[in-house]
Structure 1
Amino acid sequence: MPGETQISHEQPTRYTMGICKPGSPAGELKQLGQPMVVPVTAEHQVIQAWQTVRTLAESDGFGRVVTYYVVTSVAELANNLVLHASRGGTISMVLVRQGDRKGIEVVAEDDGPGIADISQALQDGFSTIGGMGSGLPGVVRLMDECEITSTLGSGTRVVARKWQPCR
């Protein structure tokens, strides 16, 4: 799997996955407006986070399936903040454009314990807390781009993007 990891307490571990589709435009990634930020420290805020991204996607004309993928990903990332980071974290969402494509960027950040082995955390069924182990692997599958950066003892940052299908 991409993102072979060597764990160090000083250096972040990084995993990057991106799907380059033929004809995808290169270019600078631009935010369209200010990010919406939802603090997530408790379960009720998980709901607030996915409702916020659903409203953002629907207001910009994302189809039902793409909206569902983004909502599910945000719910998984927000739930991870509650379960794994003792003080929670934040989910930010913003519309983005790169060339002629438009999408949603989601950033989940915490200052929790960090992920010891990102490659292992991305395996279906792996869980450090006895859960189903489908959260992060699901986010990677549902989103078009995903970058996970984690430093033991300092926290984790997940940046994921979903692009609107070409019309």
Structure 2
Amino acid sequence: MDYKTLLREDFDAVVTGELTHYAIWLEDEIVTILADHYANDATRSDFVRLILRRDGLTFQSKIEIARATVPAFRDHLAAAKLPGLLKRVEEFKGYRNAFAHGLDQTPEGVKGEIHVGLVNRAGKETIRKVTPESHSAMMDATERLLVELRSVREALAASIPRN
């Protein structure tokens, strides 16, 4: 998509939408890693529905559960990659949250970029700036992250003994 041709409001909507879709896809990979490890075929559907997709279980909580599960993968080679990937997912999630929960603070007259302000839990305000170029780079990096996380998930799933 050529982001440069979009009006600011449309660019803002596209950025937020694309970031949200990637957040959903990344979260789904983490849910699948946890379901693969903790549920068998008979209980998987209920485990995912009642535990992992429960409204109160946040994306961050799922990341933390996945991080705590790493030692249970018994030194599987792919598991060694998981902590670094989860850190990158957290960084992406923070970026995405700025656009999902922040306010447009783009100065008057600024063209070709969006400034989004968000106050963090400690009360510090941060401003995220996005341009068509920076958003394209973010989407490329996030696609690579998704592919890497999926690869680790598939490797971990292949190592689970089936009864």
TM-score tier by shorter-chain length is 0.3 to 0.5
Which protein is richer in strand relative to its size? 1
Which protein is richer in helix relative to its size? 2
Q: Calculate the TM-score normalised by the size of structure 2.
A: 0.33
